[in-house]
Amino acid sequence: MKKKLALLLAGLMTIAMVTGCGAGEEPTTGSDAGTGITEESSSAEESSTEESSSEATEEGSAEASVEIEFGADTQAIIDRGVLYVGVKNAVPGFGLQDTLTGEYSGMEIDIARKIAEYLGVEVEFTTVTAATRTELLDSGDIDCVLATFTITDERKESWDFTTPYYTDAVTVLVEDASGITSLEGLVDKKVGVSSGSTSARALTAAMIEAGLIDGTGYDKDTFDAATWTTGVSYQQYEDYPAISTALSAGEVDAFCVDKSILAIYKTEGRSYIEEKFSPQEYGIATRKGSDFSALCDELVNTWLNDGTIDGFIDTYGLN
Ligand code: GLU
C-alpha cells in the first residue's frame, strides 16, 4: 500500500530519504484538546484500522517505510502530529457521532482516518455544519472538511476540492398530514433549508425545470435563498435539528437537503416527495492553494481506483 502510494506521489513530490515514519503505521486516534468543539479519543477497533494493519503486514513490515518530502502545509500537519478534520455528526453512513461514547463513524470518518494513517499522525474530529465548515477551514482550526460538502464552481473559487468520492441527490421531506407528495405540492410553500447549503438553489432550479414556477429573475450565480419568493420561499436555519423542529411545528411546510442528510429526520408520519434532483458530488475541501489539497486528491483517486471507497459505500449501505 505504502509503496503504491509513494509511486503515485512521485510525480508530485521528491522521495527524499528512508526512515521509519509515514504510511503503513497504524493510525492513532486523537485526544488533543485542539479546537475544543468536539473530539474523539478512540481505542475501539475500527474496520479501517484492521484493514490498514493487515496491508502493512502483507507489505512486509511497517519499519522499512519511505519518507516522502511533503510540501510545507502537509509537513506542518505531520510535525504537529494531528490531522484536524471537520465532519458531520448526524449523517448516518457519512459522519455520525455516538451520543454516549462520542465515537464517530461513517465513510467520511474512515477516509479521514486513512489520510491520517498515511501521514502517520493522529486524527481529531470537529463537528461542523453547512454554516460553519468553511470558516473553520479558513481560520485553520481544521485542515480539511469531509462533511457531505458538495463541489460547486462557485465554491471552487474559494477552496480546493478533491475528485468526488460520492454522489447524492437532493430531495424534500414533508409531514404526511400536509398532503404534499411531489414538487408540484411545494408551489407557494415555505421550505426550511440550512444556511450555507446548495439546497434552496437546487429546489428552485428543479421547480423551474418542472415548469412549476416562473424562472424569470433566476440566476444560479446570484441566487439568494433569503430573498427568493417566486412560487416558493425559504427559511434558513443554522442546523438540521432546528429545521426538523420547525417542520413539526408547522413553521415550514417542507425540509429540503441531500437525501443522505434527511435520512435521520424521516421519522414516522413523514415522507420524501417523489422527486430527487440536482446530483451533489461530495469532495474533500482544503484551503485553496495548499499543498495538502494535491495530496488529498491523490489519495482519493488511489482509493477510488483500488476499491477502498466502494468498500466503504458497501459497508455503510450507501449504494
Ligand atoms: N451537500 C450540500 C451542500 O454542500 C447540503 C448541505 C450540507 O452538506 O449540509 O451544500
Report the C-alpha gap between 299 and 222 in whole angstroms.
34
What's 150's DSSP letter? B
| pLDDT of residue 265 exceeding 80 | yes
CA 91 to ligand 1: nearest atom: 9
pLDDT at residue 282, as a whole number? 98
Residues 6+ apart with CB under 8 A from 247: 173, 174, 175, 192, 254, 255, 265, 270
Single-letter amino acid code for the residue at 126 = T
pLDDT at residue 69, as a whole number? 84
Which residues lie with the beta carbon below 6 Å from any ligand 1 atom? 130, 148-150, 194, 197-199, 257-258, 261, 280
Among 128, 136, 145, 150, the mutation site with the greatest number of ligand 1 atoms within 8 A of its Cβ is: 150
Helix (DSSP H) and strand (DSSP E) numbers for the chain: 11, 17
pLDDT digits (tens, 9 = 90+) for 183-207: 999 999 999 999 999 999 999 999 9
CATH topology for 169-279 is D-Maltodextrin-Binding Protein; domain 2 (3.40.190)
Q: Where are the domains of the chain?
A: 72-165+283-315, 169-279
| pLDDT of residue 48 exceeding 90 | no
Cell of residue 210, nine digits: 418542472
C-alpha R_g of the chain: 21
Backbone angles phi, psi at 129, to 5 degrees: -120, 175
Q: Are 129 and 242 in contact (CB under 8 A)?
A: no
| pLDDT of residue 40 exceeding 60 | no
313 Cα–ligand 1 center, Å: 19
Strand 159-161, strand 285-287: pairing: antiparallel
Single-letter amino acid code for the residue at 57 = T
Q: Are 68 and 6 in contact (CB under 8 A)?
A: yes
Report the C-alpha gap between 52 and 299 in whole angstroms.
14
pLDDT digits (tens, 9 = 90+) for 140-198: 999 999 999 999 999 999 999 999 999 999 999 999 999 999 999 999 999 999 999 99
Superfamily of domain 72-165+283-315: Periplasmic binding protein-like II (3.40.190.10)
Q: Do domains 72-165+283-315 and 169-279 have the same CATH topology?
A: yes
94 Cα–ligand 1 center, Å: 12
